[in-house]
């Protein structure tokens, strides 16, 4: 298949816990290429667009607040089937349930908050990846 691109975010919890390098290490060890990267303090308007599909859900407001709580590292990652492949590396949304061996399963846990602090974001489809990469880069 052709080379795809996906958007990975190391969320504020991942940056605060000094796990940026560990996330990037896993991406590179899997064989994907990091083709762009930056640290950003995300504005609310960007996060509202990024998470538009979740507007109205109970975790939406805590999610948008949490994503503004500190810097985020945004990463453009390239490779064949990288969208699916990074979602597999990240593991399930709930870090308690995420399988050991995954980023969320190995490094994340429930901290008793209204939002799941699960360290990373990865685009979930080619359409999402194109839309999100245009927002962040």
**HEC sequence for 64-130:** HHHHCCCCEEEEEEEEECHHHHHHHHHCCCCCCCCCECEHHHHHCCCCCCCCCCCCEEECCCHHHHH
- Stretches 24-32, 41-49, 69-77, 116-124: which one binds ligand DAT (CB under 6 A)? 116-124
CA-to-CA distance for 8 and 24, rounded, in angstroms? 10
Distance of closest approach, residue 43 Cβ to ligand DAT, in angstroms: 18
Least Å distance, CB 129 to ligand DAT, is 12
> Does 135 contact ligand DAT by CB under 6 A?
no
User: Which residues define the annotated binding site for ATP?
Assistant: 11, 59, 87, 93, 104, 118
Question: Which residues lie near ligand DAT (CB under 6 A)?
Answer: 54, 59, 63, 93, 115-116, 118, 121, 124
């Amino acid at each position: 298949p052709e080379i795809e691109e996906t958007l990975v975010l190391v969320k504020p919890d991942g940056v605060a816990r000094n796990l940026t390098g560990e996330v990037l290490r896993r991406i590179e060890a899997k064989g994907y290429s990091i083709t762009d990267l930056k640290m950003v303090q995300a504005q609310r308007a960007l996060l509202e667009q990024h998470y538009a599909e979740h507007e109205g859900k109970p975790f939406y407001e805590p999610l948008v607040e949490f994503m503004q709580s500190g810097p985020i590292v945004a990463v453009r990652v390239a490779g064949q089937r990288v969208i699916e492949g990074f979602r597999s590396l990240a593991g399930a949304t709930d870090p308690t349930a995420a399988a050991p061996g995954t980023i969320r399963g190995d490094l994340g846990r429930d901290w008793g908050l209204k939002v799941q602090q699960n360290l990373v974001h990865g685009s979930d489809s080619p359409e999402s990846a194109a839309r999100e990469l245009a927002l962040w880069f």
